């Protein structure tokens, strides 16, 4: 009985991870179909970097007091800060590719978006294991939210050497989006929930459009 119970627990966990991975799989397929020159190794390293950032974020949030609008934004700041170092290391390791690509800023944006989805996969699996009822909700809201914020952090990393003001603005924009999303989720009712979903989805769509423009920019110049 214990064997079957443990097997059932593993299957549930794998299912939760699969559901949390839907958006990451969709982005991977999009990159391949669009023939975007984003190496598969960089894609999976970005996922790993994002998943790794979950642990320092969890640790940092232990020191954030509960309650109040300020604490919500501080928590958002700790999560975005936690992805910063892994993305810096990742983009340094792949700096030759980023420098050789037509648009290094797009590479940073794309790597950050994938890293955000990696964070969401691990976070979604952990939270959904505690409460499976929220799995679908998190897949529909938290995944695009983390992807959108991660894309801005990734862009900030690439932009910083040339334009530190713009880079800091991108990072703070990620914190504001994340904080606004968390604030709305803390408000009971359907309307705040809808607003939170709209923020997550629209911010993710903006990130996708930014990457898409970076993909097509060289062709537009050739024309």
| Element at 19 (helix H, strand E) | helix 2-20
**What is the distance between the terminal CA atoms of the chain, rounded to a whole angstrom?**
66
- How many CB atoms neighbour CB 167 within 10 A? 20
Q: Which of 23, 55, 27, 56 is nearest to 40 (CA)?
A: 27
- Separation of alpha carbons 185 and 198, rounded Å: 12
Number of residues in the chain: 223
Structural domain boundaries of the chain? Answer: 2-218
Q: What is the pLDDT along the chain (223 residues), one digit of tens a residue?
A: 444 444 465 676 677 677 778 899 999 999 999 888 888 999 999 999 999 999 988 888 888 877 777 888 999 999 999 999 999 999 888 877 665 555 567 889 999 999 999 999 888 777 766 666 665 666 667 889 999 999 999 999 999 988 999 999 999 999 999 999 989 988 888 898 899 999 999 999 999 999 998 886 544 433 3
């Amino acid at each position: 009985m214990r064997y079957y119970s443990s097997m059932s627990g593993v299957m549930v966990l794998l299912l939760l991870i699969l559901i949390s991975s839907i958006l990451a799989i969709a982005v991977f397929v999009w990159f391949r179909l669009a023939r975007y020159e984003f190496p598969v190794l960089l894609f999976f390293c970005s996922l790993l970097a994002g998943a790794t950032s979950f642990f320092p974020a969890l640790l940092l949030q232990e020191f954030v007091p509960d309650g109040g609008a300020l604490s919500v934004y501080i928590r958002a700041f700790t999560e975005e800060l936690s992805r910063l170092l892994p993305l810096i290391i990742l983009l340094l390791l792949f700096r030759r590719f980023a420098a050789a690509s037509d648009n290094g800023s797009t590479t940073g944006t794309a790597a950050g978006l994938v890293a955000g989805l990696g964070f969401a996969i691990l976070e979604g699996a952990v939270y959904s294991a505690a409460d499976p009822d929220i799995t679908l909700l998190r897949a529909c809201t938290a995944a695009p939210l983390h992807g959108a914020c991660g894309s801005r952090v990734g862009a900030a990393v690439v932009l910083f050497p040339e334009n530190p003001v713009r880079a800091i603005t991108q990072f703070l924009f990620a914190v504001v989006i994340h904080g606004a999303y968390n604030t709305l989720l803390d408000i009971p009712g359907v309307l705040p929930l809808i607003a939170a979903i709209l923020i997550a989805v629209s911010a993710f769509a903006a990130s996708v459009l930014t990457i898409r423009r970076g993909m097509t920019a060289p062709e537009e110049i050739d024309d």
